[in-house]
Chain A
Amino acid sequence: MAAESGKIDPMHQFEVTPLSGGFNLGGHDILFTNSALWMIVAAIALGLFMWGGMRRQLVPGRWQAAVEGFTGFISNMMMANIGTEGRKYTPYVFSLFMFILFCNLLGMLPLGVLGLHPFTVTSHIAITGVLALISFAIVLVVGFWRHGLHFFSLFVPHGTPLPMIPIIAPIEFVSFMVRPFSLGLRLFVAMTAGHVLLKVLSGFVINGFNAETLWLGSIVSVLSFILMIGISALELLVAGIQAYVFALLTSLYINDAVNLH
């Protein structure tokens, strides 16, 4: 059993493999990898999805209504969290939300059945971290652009008693600086954990049927498979929720930068 379970490596799905040669950029080799492939697949799928909603009819069809549901969801969120000025940032947050959502969902596709290896782009901290840093950079740029040095008043919440300021301000500062890490880490961890869990369970299914005592192994396999179905549904939910959380927190952080407290 130990030798057999060793065949299925739940971390293998996160490996980045080069698909074709690349070029050199500033001393780094840029290769076209499976990660890049799945990003482009997500972008194309997203583009097709959006294109189907571009008919611009007065009475929308199903597809157009679906696309308008997504755009309305994000623009309402921006309006609720930031106000009318939020419209300026809707393109960024919408791109972020849809890109993360499509990467999450495409990584869930059961393409392994066809012998392909789906790759979840958002299960890489390098990706989610960069997206979080972009959001954080926007917050900093907008904050200092609009409020100048007054932006630092973000670290002193309204109504803080004067003697408390030396204590509160560092805490607020730390919590502010932690934001990009928590933002990127949350998505990366959720995606990684879900996919590892699914891979471990699918390893159980395969190893169970290959076990020497077949009846016992079969019970394990069937139970694991039932569990997998439930967890797959849960992971679809998590894929949506994590994309939403990322977009929501980004909008809240931008709100801090636009309106201070």
Chain B
Amino acid sequence: MPQIAQLTADNWYLASQLFWLLVVFAGIYLVIGRGMLPKIEATVDARDRKVADDLAAAKAAHATADALEESYRQQSDASRLAAQKAVAEAKDKAAKDAEKRLAKVDAELGDKLAAAEADVAAARKSAMAEIESVAAEAAGDLVAKLSGVKIAAADAKAAVKAVIHG
């Protein structure tokens, strides 16, 4: 077994094995372990950091967007509320105005009606009086024509008045 044989004292290749192992392994350690590995690890670390940073930035942007949306929503809520309030006030005011105007018009109309009614009553009274005198006159004439009796105007008037008023 050559592997065990080289551990004996007078073996010719043990020294060369160890020499070349130390040379090659030292070379690998220095060039690859110390030279290349840190650079590759730095690349990986830089990438990890970049990914983490980008994720953090994306998270921050997301939070900002959320905040913006929230404030926008609040603003629009507030303005909608204000608009509703304005509309309600305007409605209220318009209703009150209309009521006031209506009341005024109502009063005017009432006045007019009362005046007109008074006029009508006066006219009726005078017309009544007219009818009485005309009727008395006509009654006197009728009596005179039929019987030739001339009655006094006052009598005729009293008779007519009694007939008209029942």
Contact = CB atoms under 8 A, between A and B. Distances in A.
User: Do chains A and B stick together as partners?
Assistant: yes
Given A11-B2, A35-B17, A36-B20, A54 B29 contact: no
Contact of A91 (B14, B22, B25, B33): B33
Given A16-B13, A126-B21, A130-B21, 17 more contacts: A14-B1, A14-B2, A15-B2, A18-B16, A35-B17, A35-B20, A36-B17, A36-B24, A43-B27, A47-B31, A56-B40, A71-B41, A91-B37, A95-B29, A99-B25, A121-B21, A124-B17
B16 A31 contact: yes
A75 interface: yes
A121 B19 CA distance: 13
A63 to B, nearest CB: 12
A125 B7 contact: yes
21 contacts: A18-B13, A18-B16, A28-B16, A29-B15, A32-B20, A33-B20, A35-B17, A36-B20, A39-B21, A39-B24, A50-B32, A53-B40, A54-B39, A68-B40, A68-B44, A91-B33, A91-B34, A94-B37, A123-B3, A126-B17, A127-B21
B110 interface: no
Contacts of A130: 18, 21-22
B29 A188 contact: no
Contacts of A30: 15-16, 19-20
B44 to A, nearest CB: 6
Contacts of A91: 29, 33-34, 37-38
A202 interface: no
A71 B33 contact: no
Contacts of A50: 32, 36-37, 40
Nearest to B34: A91
A108 to B, nearest CB: 18
B85 to A, nearest CB: 56
Interface in A116-136: 121, 123-127, 130-131, 134
B75 interface: no
A43 B1 contact: no
A127 B25 CA distance: 10
B44 A71 contact: yes
B100 interface: no
A32 B3 contact: no
Nearest to A51: B36
Contacts of B33: 91-92, 94-95
B41 A75 contact: yes
